[in-house]
Structure 1
Amino acid sequence: MVSEQDAVVRDEDWYGRELGPGTAYSGCAFYDTDWTEVASEGAVFDGCVFAGVRFNASRHTGTAFTNCVFRSCVFFDTRFAQCKLVGSRFERSPFTLLEADGGDWSFAGLGGADLRGASFDGVRLREAELTGADAQGATLVRCDLSGAELRGARLRGADLRGSDLSSLDPRTAEVAGARIDPEQAVVIATALGFALG
């Protein structure tokens, strides 16, 4: 069991480390730490700062990263399954090949994020900040995007099927080639003032 508060971890190699349900960090800072192939399950990180951390090929299941800040981190081939990232903020952190399956990312700060190639399936992104995010070719299926800020988001070629798009205004985002289903088309057309039927 590991429980740390206000600790600072700097330049450490956590390669392949396993973090279980007894792992809890609060208000801690991780600087330039290698988290390559780390596997976490049920761990808790609250109010932590991650700067220059490499999450390459790491796997996280049922882990909470709540109200955390991720700055200049790398999420290459990272997997999140049923994780909680409520209120966390991401700055200058590419998400190449990241996969998120389920979980709650509500109120997450992803403004300007590079989400090209990322996949979100069944993720709750309610009221997430996605202003100016580059999600071209990304997968955002069956996601709850209600109340999300999508102004200036680049969604060209993205797969949005099954997601709540009630807050998407296609006049303020790039949506050419994005895939949606008929039900979503009705929602968007109605929001734009069309009379259907």
Structure 2
Amino acid sequence: MTEAVQGRTFHDEDRYAEDLGGDVYIDCAFRGVDLTESFGAGTVFTECIFDDTRFNVARYTGSAFTNCVFRNCNFFDAEFTDCRILGSTFTASTLRPMKMLGGDWSLTDLRGADLRGSAFQGVRLREADLTGANCSDAVFGDVDLSGAMLTDASFARTDLRGSDLSSFDPHIVELAGAVITSDQAQVIVAALGLDVR
């Protein structure tokens, strides 16, 4: 098992296309680090801070980013498969387009995030904060959004088929042109207070 790296700060390092598979980082800070095209299976980051870090075209599988903070980071064309991003916070970061396939993003803070054109497929986003997020023209397929905070979020023209829409209030969430199933339509109708007979 890889020995955990704890409490270290990494400044302006070039880790382009580096294999971080199996690495474990606890309470570390990454400042100005280039992780473009980095990849890893089973990589673990716990309570780490990422400032001005580039994850462009990065690929992570079965990895965990738990209670991490991402500030001014770039995730252009990054892909996360079956990863756990529990309780992490994203601020002033470029998050589009990203692809999330499976995994658990519960309790993640994505307030005001620009997620246009991104894809979440089979992801758990329970109690995530998407307040004011722009999720238009994206794919949220089979996503668990139960308990999510969605005030002033936009899902215009977004494919929401198969997702849990129980937290969607059409009065405060933009849904124009969104693609949903007939079963989901019943949830939205109920949220509008209508009685369909």
What TM-score does the superposition give when structure 1 sets the normalisation length?
A: 0.97
Question: 2:170, 2:191 within 8 Å by CA — same for their partners in 1?
Answer: no
1:2 to partner: Cα distance:
4.5
Match in the other structure for 2:133? 133
1:19 to partner: Cα distance:
1.2
Match in the other structure for 1:11? 12
Q: Distance in 2 between matches of 1:186 and 1:177?
A: 16
Q: Distance in 1 between matches of 2:194 and 2:125?
A: 27
**1:101 lines up with 2:101 in the alignment:** yes
Aligned-residue identity in percent: 50
Question: 1:95, 1:117 within 8 Å by CA — same for their partners in 2?
Answer: no
Q: Distance in 2 between matches of 1:2 and 1:170?
A: 49
**1:145 lines up with 2:119 in the alignment:** no
Match in the other structure for 2:73? 73
> For each residue in 1:145-196, what CA deviation from the matched residue of structure 2 results, as whole angstroms up to 9, or x when unmatched?
0000000001111111110010010110111111111111101111222222
Q: Which amino acid in structure 2 is aligned with residue 41 of structure 1?
A: A
Q: Which amino acid in structure 2 is aligned with residue 178 of structure 1?
A: A
Match in the other structure for 1:43? 43
Q: Which amino acid in structure 1 is aligned with residue 147 of structure 2?
A: G
SS in 1 for 2:183: helix
Alignment RMSD (CA, Å): 0.8
**1:182 lines up with 2:182 in the alignment:** yes
Q: Distance in 2 between matches of 1:101 and 1:178?
A: 20
**1:168 lines up with 2:168 in the alignment:** yes
Unaligned runs of 5+ in 1: none
> For each residue in 1:42-64, what CA deviation from the matched residue of structure 2 results, as whole angstroms up to 9, or x when unmatched?
01100000010110111000000
> For each residue in 1:87-129, what CA deviation from the matched residue of structure 2 results, as whole angstroms up to 9, or x when unmatched?
0000011212210000000000000001011100000000000
Moved over 3 A (4+): none
> For each residue in 1:19-77, what CA deviation from the matched residue of structure 2 results, as whole angstroms up to 9, or x when unmatched?
122x1111100001000110111011000000101101110000000000000000001
Match in the other structure for 2:192? 192
Question: 1:169, 1:188 within 8 Å by CA — same for their partners in 2?
Answer: yes
Match in the other structure for 2:111? 111
Q: Distance in 1 between matches of 2:90 and 2:3?
A: 25
Unaligned runs of 5+ in 2: none
What TM-score does the superposition give when structure 2 sets the normalisation length?
A: 0.97
SS in 2 for 1:25: strand
